[in-house]
């Protein structure tokens, strides 16, 4: 008799993360975690991404103790360690991209997988060198792509790729906030058939 893996739950209301996880062909439920996502004093962008991914997974795992729960969060950080959040407005998006131009920005994608007898967590980084952009290019990009709900005000999966000089990561899906290479490996270890 084959033992089926535990149910799978995504601890996120992000449509981006849900569509990314759906690429693995697994059935999963969505149960967003409601946590305070503000950084604590002295916390680095990388530490924040990992803490938030774990907290989201833990909150949802308490509601679904029989399930495997995936928590994820992404934090963009400038080369000086400053955190770039989701801009929320056109003016703030333009301001963030002005700060980013000509600099290296790292998107830290924190992930966690919790389940019965299982706890894994990690951060997958994507380092991006942003082009030296003119103000008109920045304004035009923000008006067209509307990256107001994206960490660092950039959608690499659409027009945001035009802002980039160079990109480096172990996992090309990490920049969209769901590092599928790592998650797929973890899920296989937990008994899920991927592929």
Catalytic positions: 73
- Cβ distance 157 to 167 under 8 Å? no
- Cβ distance 111 to 53 under 8 Å? yes
| 3-state secondary structure at position 76 | strand
Exposed (0-12), middle (13-18) or buried (19+): which is 15, by Cβ within 10 Å?
A: exposed
The alpha carbon torsion through 79, 76, 21, 72 (nearest 10 deg) reads 110
φ and ψ of 89, to 5 deg: -145, 160
Distance in angstroms (rounded) separating the CA atoms of residues 89 and 74: 19
Distance in angstroms (rounded) separating the CA atoms of residues 9 and 179: 16
């Amino acid at each position: 008799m084959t033992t089926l893996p535990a149910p799978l739950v995504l601890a996120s209301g992000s449509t981006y993360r849900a569509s990314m996880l759906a690429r693995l062909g697994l059935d999963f439920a969505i149960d967003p975690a409601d946590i305070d996502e503000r950084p604590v004093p002295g916390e680095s962008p990388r530490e924040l991404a990992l803490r938030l991914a774990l907290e989201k997974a833990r909150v949802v795992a308490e509601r679904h103790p029989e399930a495997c729960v995936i928590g994820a969060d992404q934090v963009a950080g400038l080369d000086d360690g400053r955190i770039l959040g989701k801009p929320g407005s056109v003016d703030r998006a333009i301001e963030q991209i002005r700060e980013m131009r000509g600099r290296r920005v790292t998107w830290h994608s924190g992930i966690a997988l919790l389940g019965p007898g299982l706890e894994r967590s990690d951060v997958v980084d994507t380092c991006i060198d942003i082009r030296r952009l003119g103000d008109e290019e920045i304004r035009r990009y923000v008006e067209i792509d509307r990256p107001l709900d994206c960490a660092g005000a950039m959608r690499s999966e659409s027009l945001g790729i035009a802002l980039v000089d160079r990109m480096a990561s172990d996992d090309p899906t990490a920049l969209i906030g769901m590092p599928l290479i790592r998650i797929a490996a973890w899920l296989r270890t937990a008994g899920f058939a991927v592929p």
